[in-house]
Structure 1
Amino acid sequence: MAHRANEQLRLSGRVRIDVPEGMPSPVRHALRMLARDFEAVLGAEPEIVEGTARDAGQEIGGEQSKAAELAIIGGKSKASELAIRWAEESDGIPRRPEAYGFRFRSSEDECGADVNIIGHDELGLVYGMLEFSRRFLGIQPFWFWADQEIVRRDEIVIDGEDFDSPEPKVRYRGWFVNDEVCLIGWKDPYPPSREVWEPVFEALLRCGGNMVIPGTDLPRDGIHYKLAAEMGLWVMHHHAEPLGAEMFLRAYPGKSPSYQREPELFEKLWREAIEEQKDKKVVWVLSFRGQGDKPFWIDDPSFDTPEKRGAMISRVIRKQYDMIAREVENPVFCAALYGEISELYKGGCVDLPDDVIKVWADNGYGKMVSRRHGNQNYRVPALPAKDDGGKHGVYYHVTFHDLQASNHLTTFPGSAEFIKEEVEAAFASGADEYVLVNSGNIRPHVYTLDLIRELWNEGEADAGEHLRRFVRSYYRDGHEELEELYRTYSEAAIPYGPNADDRAGDEYYHHPARQIIGHWLTGQGAEPDPRLFWAVGDAAFGEQVKGFERLLEPGMKSWESWLERCDEALAKLGPDDRRRALDQLRFHGALHLSGCEGFYWLCRSYGEYAEKRYPQAFVLASKSMRSYRRGLEILRDSERGKWDRFYQADWLTNIRSTVENVDTLRRWLRLHGDSPDFFLWYKEFLMPVTEKYIYLENTHRNPLSDDELALRLEEFFGL
């Protein structure tokens, strides 16, 4: 029910919501969210009455999902508390896509709803309902992913002032749910079900997003694309899957994946993809790469010059463009200038149609320069030139997977100010038509995704003010100390290079560590490991290992200091805030410290091995393994309630693999002097002197386990 006091509207109990007949699927999904939010805050499910709100405006049809069904009753309505309706001319809502507004009935009006959420199109109504929920019910965009505490209230107070939505800075705004293995491993069904995808798409819509690439190379019979469209999102495709077509070698195993040789087969796949999607909202990705997301000329070496490569890419993109234009009305096109295509385009070797949005990519670490490929790091600026006409956009990483130093399980290691400056500079260069963010598994990246939300909506952000609002949106107490921890997180990250974006993510402690173990145990230690040049240069292998050690030692101290401050702040919080801060803050620092320590002790172990101090090397390898094992414990501790098994599929950073690699190492080290009876080190270092020379071997043959021997030798050596 509703009542007014001083022109404020107060809602309490079971609120009545009037809706028009025949709502399209995206609006039904949003209405389901709004109804759930009302029930969570006011403690009563709203009464939803269909066919009473005015039906002006043009509806866009959509399939109704079972998940979007609501308890809706029909009938005539008198004055209601809340109405969801299509905008009329007299409402004065701007005539642009996705616009929405709030209109209020004054106390003098005799009819109509107290509150009207109105929009010209389906996403307008969706955004209007979700913004109403944020403003007046307090439901934040990442309520699900950040475990927001929903506060129950007796009533909600609405100011009663009409509101028109501002136009977002960016027309096409979305996420690439890439490297999403945690989402894959979280629940049993594969590919992931509605239960997994709905919270992802809901959070994106609450952020004002309107497009998505829902996953990477998932089975085509999965729900991900269908559900994204059902919830009103524009659908896109991975640049390795142009037009969303089947991968060539999956469709034609044994055939040569060469457009030069098999143009008809490629075009058949594209034609099928266009036919399947031509009536849906699609941002068509025009691209041509080789199978497995690599340059096509790797499989076809006849394309041995930039000019030949660029000519082929231009030819294929023009063909895709023409095929779509014949079948789709007013299509939206983009082309990813990523990796080698960016270099070819800047070199004048790629020609794109004028109305294709050209998408520029950061290097995976948030800097708008070319990506590092192995040891090559040219850092060529990746933004449009001043005289480069047409529309431009940005593909930006807040998480990345590259087998080097990227962050995957942990939040972005750079500062919010750094992200703000890079994205605002991209907008200033004209790359503001489109922003696609690599969102990974969502949960570890809430803070940075929320910052991008503000940037793509407002066009700019005050990093400090954004942080202040963010912390107060998700935590009840301890705001100043929590803000300081979020702000100083990036200061604790290891700077492994000279650039602002050279800050270590969680993969830094694992991929290079496993490479070192492999190089070491396969007897290649006399030569440098070329895979490590990007981090520690072309030096002797021992010096390469020492190079990591020199960075890791201060890194441990930095993370230890940050965690000490974190623990002090968390001790002052209530149980709900403390649990939230454990997952959203401490989790990341603790995972960094466990990896940093594990890698440090591994490097120290190699130093002892190189000096032929094998028992000491064994002890330090065991210390390394214990530190890495603690990383697994940190993952498990964060998997409670709805998050059970969330990190089960950690296959990219792959902490478990690192633990197993280090375990292999220490077993191998024990062969150096303790074999074959695995009693010799005990006898030499641990057996009491009174027993060492008189014991009978046939009664003292039970060797210690690796763990027990390591702990006792660690105490003996004082390591």
Structure 2
Amino acid sequence: MTQIDPLKLEGIVCIYAAIELHSPLQYTLSILQRDLEKVLDTKPVTVASSDEARLIIRLAEEQDNCPNRPEAFSYRFSKVNNHVQMMIIGRDELGMVYGILEFTRRFLDIQPFWFWMDQTIERRSEILISCDSYDSPEAKVRFRGWFVNDEVCLIGWKKPYPPSREVWEPVFEALLRCGGNMIIPGTDLPRDGVHYKLAAEMGLWVTHHHAEPLGAEMFLRAFPGRMASYQQEPELFESLWHEAIEEQKEWKVLWVLSFRGQGDAPFWMNDPSFDTSEKRGAMISKVIKRQYDMISGKVANPVCCVALYGEISELYKGGYIELPKGVIKIWADNGYGKMVSRRHNNLNYRVHSLPSTDDDGKHGVYYHITFHDLQASNHLTLFPGSAAFLKQEMESAFAARASEYVLVNSGNIRPHIYSLDIMRELWLAGEIEVERHLERFVNSYYSEQHEDLVDLYRSYAESATPYGPNEDDLAGDEYYHHPARQIIGRWLQGNDADPDPRLIWATGEVPFADQVRGFEKRLEPAIGKWSKWLNLCDSVLFKLGADDRRRAIDQLRFHGELHLSGSEGFYWLCRAYREFGAKRYPQAFVCASESLWCYSRGLAALRESEHGKWKNFYQADWLTNISSTVQNVDTLRRYIRMHGDSPDFFLWYKEYLMPETEKHIYLENTHRNPLSDDELANQLKQYFSIASNHDL
């Protein structure tokens, strides 16, 4: 075989597409042109003839020996008219898309999350490509993608609502670069948004939220005031399903069959006549069969799935639900990455959530690397568990035959990149060597101090705060905010004699004061661990150049700061409650002020991360809602000051801070300008620290 010289790309690169450019290839070809221009600083051109092209994009032919499976691609090389050509060959449309995107990763060093990581793209005068044939490996998972759920930051980032193409295109491009082929683009967004249509245009399979079967309009939104009961209004429900099928039948769709109530709740919340498992299971089975028949009447060989989530999982495992043959059964983790049933308020049965050995058919997984549950989940911060834990859960799911489908809750993308990259490796290869992967990840996005950065990513999970006995009971950012606001509300309402039922999941059913004390005990060691990690982080940041430092602040320090400021803020809130209970009101005021200052650091971290193209990215932080916590603590601090410093707000100054020589001779008409809350708290903090050696 004749050895072909390396392909040299320089200057104006000529590209020939030997196919009709449908929408997905138009998008991907524009990405290729953009990436070549980024690297070579010269815009490539498309040409009408293959003779003058350096890059040729086409469908596979028999003589190419491209793997004969969906989405496969190959690289082949030839020499024509004394110049070398590279052919990017796809078995189908997505195969060509993946071939182009892998080309830009492999030869231009454009990484899957280049946009979200603010990757520094190196300019080059030429690109040399060794002319070695290449065939893409088969992905472990057939359908693999993201559920862009709890996506409020994407909603608030830019002014248009629902989010525009400007927001969605980087999301869908990153997913395609990760080898993903399936998307749920957002939660309950207005139906006139571009999200579903654009995803289909870019070549992705679209699928649906389990609360929106078939992607249909919510019943009560379409028919306000009517009874949301399929038993009473089957024609109205079916009219919505019919409309959804007609709207999507030309797209690639994984049709979600389901029957939940309005607002993602069990349907019997709207129809209480279904009061037994037998009745509930029979109705769900009937509805799913009807949905399946309606799709089959309009779409040839539809791909259908059922999310075994929440009550549907329990009914299915109890034998109360029958599913059509061939439907993919989707099993879910508990929101914290463990393949067990999720916690419902204070109930946490942790029932195994994978198919049994005798459950035949196709199975898949819905998996959270971010979650929102008003308890302890991570929404703004990285998954708190280790890469080894993610490996354990996903490889176990694959071993249990749940490998036809993997849907990852990707949240707002930007805070979750390392975890999403782990999932990319798992759905493509079926396994992962966590240390090797981490080294590759760091080397791909950072230019220096690789060993130190690897250690920071690894030790992040080691610093996580356990809040319960299970390996997945690790605190995300919501742990520091939702329970804290619940405590403040109950405290200010004067309703703290009995346990707060909303906190039993974390503390047990003990008196409210003991619930608060339980949080305090867990938060104290958390402060030490996160302080140590942040000190280590800062020592690494000091060694980095400007670009890497900015990237490491956004992707590492940002997360540690939200954990440290959150754990400190919550700790001082608990201390304030203890001091208040002992009627040490000035001390409680200082503790509440410490809490406010700590939580405010977290809010400042959000704002500081909104640089450049990320301006306003976190302005719609409505779920963790650090701003709301700051406001709540400020309200609490004002309330505490009412206890002993009111009505003139001069009494604590007089008692603790005014010089003894002045106390008995001052004239009120010249000494009545009260200190601000911050000024008073700072001076009282210093006084109590010196006077009583009490750490405030």
Is the shorter-chain TM-score for this pair beyond 0.5, marking a shared fold? yes
Kept after mapping to 2: 8 A contact 1:78/1:111? no
Point out where structure 1 has 5 or more consecutive residues left out of the alignment: 50-74
- What does the per-residue CA deviation read over 1:358-400, in whole Å, with 9 as the maximum and x for residues that have no partner? 0000000000000001010000000000010000000000000
Of 39, 42, 65, which residue of structure 1 is paired with 2:40?
42
Structure 1 residue 86 corresponds to structure 2 residue 59: yes
- Between the aligned partners of 2:86 and 2:374, the Cα distance in structure 1 is 52
- Between the aligned partners of 1:383 and 1:22, the Cα distance in structure 2 is 43
- Between the aligned partners of 1:258 and 1:716, the Cα distance in structure 2 is 65
Partner of 1:65: none
- Between the aligned partners of 1:581 and 1:10, the Cα distance in structure 2 is 34
Q: Which amino acid aligns with 1:547?
A: G
Structure 1 residue 553 corresponds to structure 2 residue 524: yes
Of 223, 234, 249, which residue of structure 2 is paired with 1:278?
249
Partner of 1:57: none
**1:5 offset after TM fit, Å?**
9.9
Q: Which amino acid aligns with 2:11?
A: G
**1:330 offset after TM fit, Å?**
1.0
- What does the per-residue CA deviation read over 1:403-446, in whole Å, with 9 as the maximum and x for residues that have no partner? 00000000000000000110000000000000000000000000
- Between the aligned partners of 2:287 and 2:337, the Cα distance in structure 1 is 30
Structure 1 residue 413 corresponds to structure 2 residue 421: no
Point out where structure 2 has 5 or more consecutive residues left out of the alignment: 690-695
Partner of 1:71: none
* Structure 1 residues 232-243: aligned runs within 5 Å: 232-243=203-214
Q: Which amino acid aligns with 2:25?
A: V
- Between the aligned partners of 1:28 and 1:112, the Cα distance in structure 2 is 26
SS in structure 1 at match of 2:354: coil
Partner of 1:599: 570
Partner of 2:693: none
- What does the per-residue CA deviation read over 1:426-474, in whole Å, with 9 as the maximum and x for residues that have no partner? 0000000000000000000000000000000001001111001000000
Structure 1 residue 671 corresponds to structure 2 residue 669: no
Name the TM-score, length of structure 2 as normaliser: 0.98
- Between the aligned partners of 1:309 and 1:157, the Cα distance in structure 2 is 63
Partner of 2:24: 26
Of 73, 94, 105, which residue of structure 2 is paired with 1:100?
73
Partner of 1:9: 7
* Moved segments of 4+, more than 4 Å: 109-113
Partner of 2:194: 223
**1:699 offset after TM fit, Å?**
2.2
**1:607 offset after TM fit, Å?**
0.5
Percent of pairs identical after alignment? 70
Partner of 1:717: 688
Kept after mapping to 1: 8 A contact 2:258/2:307? yes
- What does the per-residue CA deviation read over 1:8-32, in whole Å, with 9 as the maximum and x for residues that have no partner? 2221111111112521110110111
Kept after mapping to 1: 8 A contact 2:7/2:84? no
Q: Which amino acid aligns with 1:319?
A: R
- Between the aligned partners of 2:293 and 2:524, the Cα distance in structure 1 is 57
Q: Number of aligned pairs?
A: 689
**1:80 offset after TM fit, Å?**
2.2
Partner of 2:399: 428
- Between the aligned partners of 1:654 and 1:448, the Cα distance in structure 2 is 22
- What does the per-residue CA deviation read over 1:531-564, in whole Å, with 9 as the maximum and x for residues that have no partner? 1111111111111111101110100000000011
Of 572, 581, 599, which residue of structure 2 is paired with 1:628?
599
SS in structure 2 at match of 1:667: helix
Partner of 1:68: none
Partner of 1:66: none
Name the TM-score, length of structure 1 as normaliser: 0.95
Q: Which amino acid aligns with 1:168?
A: A
SS in structure 2 at match of 1:663: helix
Kept after mapping to 1: 8 A contact 2:4/2:78? no
SS in structure 2 at match of 1:314: helix
Of 302, 310, 330, which residue of structure 1 is paired with 2:273?
302
- What does the per-residue CA deviation read over 1:190-217, in whole Å, with 9 as the maximum and x for residues that have no partner? 0000000000000000000001000000
Of 668, 685, 694, which residue of structure 1 is paired with 2:665?
694
SS in structure 1 at match of 2:498: coil
**1:7 offset after TM fit, Å?**
2.8
- Between the aligned partners of 2:327 and 2:3, the Cα distance in structure 1 is 53
Partner of 1:475: 446
Partner of 1:610: 581
SS in structure 1 at match of 2:644: coil
Structure 1 range deviating more: 701-710 or 624-633: 701-710
- Between the aligned partners of 1:651 and 1:9, the Cα distance in structure 2 is 51
Q: Which amino acid aligns with 1:34?
A: L
- What does the per-residue CA deviation read over 1:191-244, in whole Å, with 9 as the maximum and x for residues that have no partner? 000000000000000000001000000000001011000000001111111011
Q: Which amino acid aligns with 1:17?
A: I
Q: Which amino acid aligns with 2:223?
A: Y
- Between the aligned partners of 1:227 and 1:182, the Cα distance in structure 2 is 19
**1:76 offset after TM fit, Å?**
3.3
Partner of 2:533: 562
Partner of 2:293: 322
Structure 1 residue 656 corresponds to structure 2 residue 656: no
Kept after mapping to 2: 8 A contact 1:78/1:112? no
